Chain A
């Protein structure tokens, strides 16, 4: 699993995943905290739950996220 619960992350790019919707474009550049990572199979393809500062909590594909700190 790349992401862990409580990690601070940034949405740094659009994702090409089918789960990425156009309204999510405004999340790019936002910082947030991973609140529910892939809880079972450690799948890099799984959607993980992230709370974004000022933007609510969303399930996002992992390729649009990067860790801000460990």
Chain B
């Protein structure tokens, strides 16, 4: 099955074009002027669908459609005009988005559709474009593209949960492109070369916005608002910027300097930071309103830890993981205990255990009530923790913290088994009776999740909250129930990912901009914008298949167990450039399957083995197979709706390529008589097998084109065999 995004979604722009086309082709537009206007509207709509439209296109379509609807002397003309106008009225945002962003998220306007990786990115980064630029060594240009949608490419290059890689089409062939690490490399290189720059700001709008929380969501919003010309102040409770990326992610995964450098880019834009100031305690909303802020954005995160609710928790002092990580991030270096038990199975639990080890704990044990398969932590994090010597106790349910003289001495636990509850497929851990045991420990760290701290927001009495105790917002504009107050990040989603917070902050900036301009908010969430259509890098099919995703070099184990040095050392430059060349450029090839079908069903050649086209059931792909069977006829290229498949003659060869991957290269035969191009041998064989030779009389060893053959046969005055 070909890519469903090419086939089963409708776009108002293409739908309008099709309906108008049917009317024109039906011959019902008998009045000449009506027909001419309809054709003009059709042409303008085609411009919109192919990314050629400018600002004047939609008003022109509006006006011409109005002329048809009101002045056409024939009914068909009136109906056509009304149809176009109604479509424009109903879907104006979609038409405008096509014009302004060169983007069609349905994939119906093939040239304007974002790739799956870009669609998957919560901040909508144009992945294929920047990966291609990195492949060409244009790191600063790549960063420029990334920062149109995400102001923190370096941070995300090190800690993003990379939804893009899960949707990467290359993953259907072997392994996804290492998108995250390529981004980190480009950011580091651009920063090192002093070519990591801010784009120009719009002129000052004379209005200012206050942001509460200097985490990824708050700073993302600040960046885009500053670029739009707003004055921005960020209020932060901690003494430094970063929020959860600073307080919750240890330095061995995300060095402090990386955050500092990217935050400094915001300061360069004029964003003002006010640190060590807690909203709701040190500062009230009314104070800020009196200062003249026109809008507010809350990105306060979810920093409050859940309690375990077991005996001994208060008496012997359960350490809250997020508080522990924050203290270490801010400079504390005391180990939490000699033998530490961390309760939980997520990334925060892993981080707490690994941090304890680095602070000198002799042993760090992770107690999790389910099995390894259910652990929500990143697989790589789990592996790295295991390598460092973290012990995992699975199917372990803590029931009591035990101690003496106010100090923790152990964690009483029960062994559990996973049992399917009645009426549910969900396997739940059920304690086994009589399986009680005690893990000796002098520090228990709880890492079972965080929630939003509502107490700081009590002043906002009209603010609506969800039943999950997160701020209730319109997820399209990020507006809260209080006018002029917006929110995003973990405070809205609950504990989530860095890139989601960044995407939310960007959306909120757009929402705030519209609010301050008095423009209505959109009804649908924004779709990612294709930033460029950069040329494809030429790669031979064999190279495309042979190149493998590189392994990440890691810091040696002794240092990982004793210091906070960055564990992932980064790819070499050569590995980065090669990895970028594995990209399939899904921003251009939509995997519609037209090429495969025409080759197999019409030409009966079946040279394209593109198993990766199918999302649900990908089968084997091998670009090298094409060379074995392809006759270089060009039918695939002629039927490709997006010029992804191309055939061209160069240096005496006919070259077939798919988004730069050279699938076939064959020597071109020229007519020995006139020198005209005849095509490759295999193509000529294919043709000769299907048509009767012009005549035996003129048979020759020489390669002669049809025209010359005809001339020869005419000269020889022989009978030309009939066509049948």
Partner-B contacts on A (CB < 8 A): 1-2, 4-6, 8, 18-19, 21, 23, 31, 33, 35-42, 44-47, 49, 51, 53-57, 59, 68
Contacts and interface: CB of A to CB of B under 8 A. Distances in A.
Nearest to B378: A5
A40 B163 contact: no
Contact of A40 (B119, B344, B374): B344
A11 B203 CA distance: 44
A35 B373 contact: no
A3 B156 CA distance: 24
A42 B374 contact: yes
B602 interface: no
Interface residues of B, number: 53
A57 to B, nearest CB: 5
Given A18-B466, A35-B163, A1 B374 contact: yes
26 contacts: A2-B425, A2-B426, A21-B475, A23-B476, A31-B615, A36-B161, A36-B500, A39-B377, A40-B306, A40-B346, A40-B376, A40-B447, A41-B449, A42-B376, A46-B468, A47-B494, A51-B119, A51-B166, A51-B167, A53-B116, A54-B4, A54-B106, A56-B525, A56-B527, A57-B500, A59-B500
> Which of A8, A19, A31 has the largest number of chain B CB atoms within 10 A?
A19
B116 A35 contact: no
B370 A42 contact: yes
Contacts of A18: 466-467
Contacts of B162: 35
A23 B167 contact: no
A53 B586 CA distance: 13
B616 A68 contact: yes
Interface string B102-138: 0001110000000010011110100000000000000
A1 B348 CA distance: 17
A35 B166 contact: yes
A19 B630 CA distance: 51
Contacts of B105: 54-56
Nearest to B449: A40
Contacts of B525: 23, 56
Contacts of A40: 306, 344, 346, 348, 376, 447-450, 495
A38 B166 contact: no
Interface string B343-382: 0101110000000000000000000001001101111000
B657 interface: no
Contacts of B161: 35-36
A31 B51 CA distance: 28
Contact of A57 (B106, B120, B448, B449): B120
Contacts of A31: 615-616
A39 B466 contact: no
Given A5-B166, A23-B476, A41-B306, 11 more contacts: A1-B376, A5-B376, A19-B466, A35-B163, A38-B376, A40-B346, A40-B376, A46-B494, A49-B500, A56-B124, A56-B525
Contacts of A33: 163, 166-167
A44 B426 contact: yes
B204 to A, nearest CB: 34
B449 A23 contact: no
Contacts of A54: 4-5, 9, 105-107, 116, 119
Contacts of A37: 376
Interface string B437-478: 000000000011110000000000000001110000001100
Contact of A35 (B9, B119, B120, B450): B120
A39 B495 contact: yes
Contacts of A47: 468, 493-494
B439 to A, nearest CB: 21
A49 B496 contact: yes
Contacts, number: 111
A36 B496 contact: yes
B305 to A, nearest CB: 10
Contact of A53 (B5, B374, B468, B476): B5
A51 B493 contact: no
Question: By DSSP majority rule, is chain A's interface helix, strand, loop, or mixed?
Answer: loop
B163 A51 contact: yes
Contacts of A68: 616
Nearest to B526: A56
B120 A51 contact: yes
B616 A36 contact: no
A6 B378 CA distance: 11
A23 B524 contact: yes
Contacts of A36: 161, 163, 496-497, 500
A59 B500 CA distance: 10
Contact of B163 (A41, A42, A49, A55): A49
Nearest to B493: A59
A53 B376 contact: no
Interface string B225-258: 0000000000000000000000000000000000
Contacts of B5: 53-54
The 10 A-B residue pairs with the shortest CB-CB distance in the complex, in nearest-first order: A40-B449, A54-B5, A35-B163, A51-B120, A39-B376, A39-B346, A41-B449, A33-B166, A40-B346, A51-B163
B523 interface: yes
Contacts of B467: 18
B215 interface: no
B680 interface: no
B590 to A, nearest CB: 10
Contacts of A53: 4-5, 116, 167, 615
Contacts of B500: 36, 49, 57, 59
Given A23-B524, A44-B426, A39 B347 contact: yes
B337 interface: no
Contacts of B616: 8, 31, 68
B410 interface: no
A6 B455 CA distance: 36
> Which of B167, B306, B495 has the largest number of chain A CB atoms within 10 A?
B167
Interface in B244-284: none
Nearest to A45: B468
Contacts of A51: 119-120, 163, 166-167
A57 B4 contact: no
B398 interface: no
A39 B106 CA distance: 31
A41 B497 CA distance: 15
A4 B346 CA distance: 12
Contacts of A5: 166, 376, 378-379
B151 interface: no
B217 interface: no
